[in-house]
Homo-oligomer: A and B are copies of this chain.
Amino acid sequence: MSKLSIAAKRMLVGRPFRSDRLGHTLLPKRIALPVFASDAMSSVAYAPEEIFLVLSVAGVSAYSYSLWIGLAVALVMAVVVASYRQNVHAYPSGGGDYEVATTNLGRNAGLTVGSALLVDYVLTVAVSISSAASNIGSAVPFVQTHKVLFAVVAIALLTAVNLRGIREAGTAFAIPTYAFVVGMAVMLVWGLFDVFVLGSDVKAESAGFQMTAENSHLYGIAFVFLVARAFSSGCAALTGVEAISNGVPAFRKPKSRNAATTLLMLGTIAVALLIGILVLAQKIGVKIAEDPARQLIGAPEGYEQKTMIAQLAGAVFANFPAGFYFITSVTALILVLAANTAFNGFPVLGSVLAQDSFLPRQLHTRGDRLAFSNGILFLAAAAIGLVVAFGAQVTQLIQLYIVGVFVSFTLSQIGMVRHWTRLLAAETDPAARRHMQRSRVINSIGLVMTGTVLVIVLITKFLAGAWIAILAMVVIFVLMKLIHRHYASVAAELASEEDWDAVLPSRTHSIVLVSKLHKPTLRALAYARATRPDTLEAITVNVDDADTRALVQAWERSDVTVPLKVIESPYREVTRPVLDYVKRVRRDSPRDVVMVFIPEYVVGRWWEHVLHNQSALRLKSRLLFQRGVMVTSVPWQLESSKGTRPVDVSHAPGATRRGLGEEAPRS
């Protein structure tokens, strides 16, 4: 992938770009589709399978409901796509659901969406990678038996790649995504043609098994509940649809129109694949059991249930093994891309939340890779935790997944309805009013639909695991509130007039800290003298009599004219005697500002930090607690510092989907 991405970068982006060329890097629809759609499309790899799996509880006869459930999911998909097409027109800034909710419903709604999305990103990684493991496992038995290990290694690799900061090259997304779509389309068309037109007797490997119901006596409410649960799981196909609404600024102009079109393409493809898979799977007799060992009768000893995609590919390409391997590979690949999406979306959302002071502020200025690194490591750790805790079982993880998505969908649609209502109140032009009313109807339908699904999901999934996701959302919500409150109280503290002495300090008293008489000390003395302080003195702490004696002698022999004071330290420590000395200086002349010069080594290797400057750093951090004291670091660059360079920002994760660092104006 790395070589490919470099080649892709060359092709797509050309030479390292400058800020005035940013327009060149915006995405055409054919590239934007794979960049933003891999998450949503990849969900057809597990959504139909989960429908079958839930229905299996009531026995094979319940499979006849799968198509209806699929159609219901497709209907929801159509409504959601139609609604989000309104979103991208109304909010082209890329703020997505968070912005829609915040603008129209206030801060708490926005924060709810924000926490839901953060939790969702973690689950996207966990679910996608677990599903990728199952799909590869269907072709490679070793992976099947070591799914957790595989998933953890895959997440670790993704983390490493994103920490190094690969650019999301559009083509690197395009090739596997289109390969997946084309491969799936060929498989489905070929398969459906074969069975329905040619009337071939294509059979899935599990077609011959008998499946016992876990509970064949489900009637009435219980059966409705089961179907509703299958529908909830199927709604996993909708995860990732909102991604485009976060990425409008990265599209070529007309941005909103192009984004809306891409959204429509995404919805069409996803629905077509979903329905195709469900029809074909039922026709060729795929059986997916919740508990294969108990439910599948007639399966060979040690039968490992394959994924639905793998079973379809195995049956359709029974005489063409390359086809089978191609389908399982591209399925796994698009799932990995979907997981990578979260690695890009997480810092972008973090940046937006940080701008509004809900997360540490340094996440906003996207300068240093460190800020991303922390987010990426957090995301990876949480995802690995989930994968390990749930044994990389998609079926288990999916219970946590969908609630966050639909919380965000529903709040976003409420916000959109409010948005149109507000605009309608001010609008008088009949044509514009008609247009807005139409949009409001679409978003209202979207609201009813997503709200209903949210209720169904909550009812059918809460005890099965959704409570974990909700709990995580609540914790993140509270944490963000607390961070916001902290920043607000600091801002208030800084704005208040008390405790502020605007008068200029009358004099400067400079102190150079000395441990040895060597070049860093001489430079510190020279720089300190260059600032022409009113008083300048050098001090040293006597932690070792012999050393101090040698220093004093060297000082007297040298041509340094600055006086050297020796401070005694009974406990051989540095910090407190210096603090006491500085306090005394402050007490004696409170109108002076004290400037402490600390010679510091600048080193190039991380382990050298352990060997140098530690005492100076601690002293510095204590000195800063003193009023009227400045601390100046006078660096001495050691040889090893020569090779180090600051990091290049343009490769930071999430750059592509923001239009390569272009700053979108926020409405």
Q: State the A residues within 8 Å of B (CB).
A: 18-19, 22, 355, 360-362, 364-368, 370-371, 483, 486-487, 490-491, 493-495, 500, 502, 504-505, 507-508, 518-520, 522, 526-527, 529-533, 543-546, 568-576, 579, 593, 595, 597, 600-602, 608, 610-612, 614-615, 618, 620, 622, 624-627, 629-639, 641, 644, 646, 649-650, 661, 663, 665-666
Contact = CB atoms under 8 A, between A and B. Distances in A.
Most chain B Cβ neighbours within 10 Å, of A522, A575, A646, A650: A646
Main secondary structure of the interface of A (DSSP, over half): mixed
A611 B365 contact: no
A625 B618 contact: no
- In the A-B complex, the 5 residue pairs with the smallest Cβ-Cβ separation, listed nearest first, are A367-B573, A19-B570, A362-B614, A624-B635, A632-B632
A572 B661 contact: yes
A494 B520 contact: yes
A103 B622 CA distance: 38
A507 B533 CA distance: 13
B360 A614 contact: yes
Contact of A518 (B362, B494, B611): B494
Contacts of A620: 633
Contacts of A520: 494
A603 B568 CA distance: 29
Given A360-B611, A487-B611, A624-B602, A635 B629 contact: yes
29 contacts: A360-B611, A361-B611, A361-B612, A364-B544, A365-B572, A365-B574, A367-B569, A367-B572, A367-B573, A367-B574, A367-B618, A370-B614, A486-B611, A505-B530, A508-B530, A531-B532, A531-B595, A545-B663, A546-B666, A576-B646, A576-B649, A579-B646, A602-B625, A620-B633, A624-B633, A624-B637, A627-B637, A632-B632, A633-B633
A644 B625 contact: yes
A600 B624 contact: yes
A666 B572 CA distance: 14
Contacts of A595: 531, 632
Contact of A575 (B367, B507, B533, B571): B367
B630 A633 contact: yes
Most chain B Cβ neighbours within 10 Å, of A18, A593, A644: A593
B638 A493 contact: yes
Contact of A608 (B486, B622, B635): B486
Contacts of A610: 360
Contacts of A615: 361-362, 365, 367-368
Given A362-B615, A615-B362, A631-B632, A646 B368 contact: no
A396 to B, nearest CB: 30
A50 B177 CA distance: 67
B614 A355 contact: no
A527 to B, nearest CB: 5
Nearest to A623: B635
Contacts of A627: 637
Most chain B Cβ neighbours within 10 Å, of A19, A360, A614: A614
A602 B629 CA distance: 12
B504 A530 contact: yes
A366 B571 contact: yes
A635 to B, nearest CB: 4
A602 B601 CA distance: 23
Nearest to A602: B624
Contacts of A597: 630
Most chain B Cβ neighbours within 10 Å, of A365, A522, A612, A636: A365
Contacts of A493: 638-639
A558 to B, nearest CB: 11
Nearest to A19: B570
Nearest to A496: B519
Nearest to A573: B367
Given A520-B494, A632-B632, A637-B625, A573 B532 contact: no
B638 A625 contact: no
Nearest to A575: B367
Most chain B Cβ neighbours within 10 Å, of A518, A624, A649: A624
Most chain B Cβ neighbours within 10 Å, of A491, A530, A574: A530
A647 B629 CA distance: 20
Nearest to A604: B625
A531 B529 contact: no
Given A486-B608, A502-B522, 20 more contacts: A362-B614, A364-B572, A365-B543, A365-B615, A367-B618, A483-B611, A490-B612, A491-B518, A494-B518, A500-B522, A504-B526, A504-B529, A508-B530, A527-B630, A531-B532, A531-B533, A602-B625, A631-B633, A631-B635, A633-B633
Nearest to A362: B614
A226 B595 CA distance: 70
Contacts of A571: 19, 366-367, 649-650, 661
Nearest to A546: B666
A626 B663 CA distance: 29
Nearest to A621: B602
A370 B614 CA distance: 10
Contacts of A661: 570-572
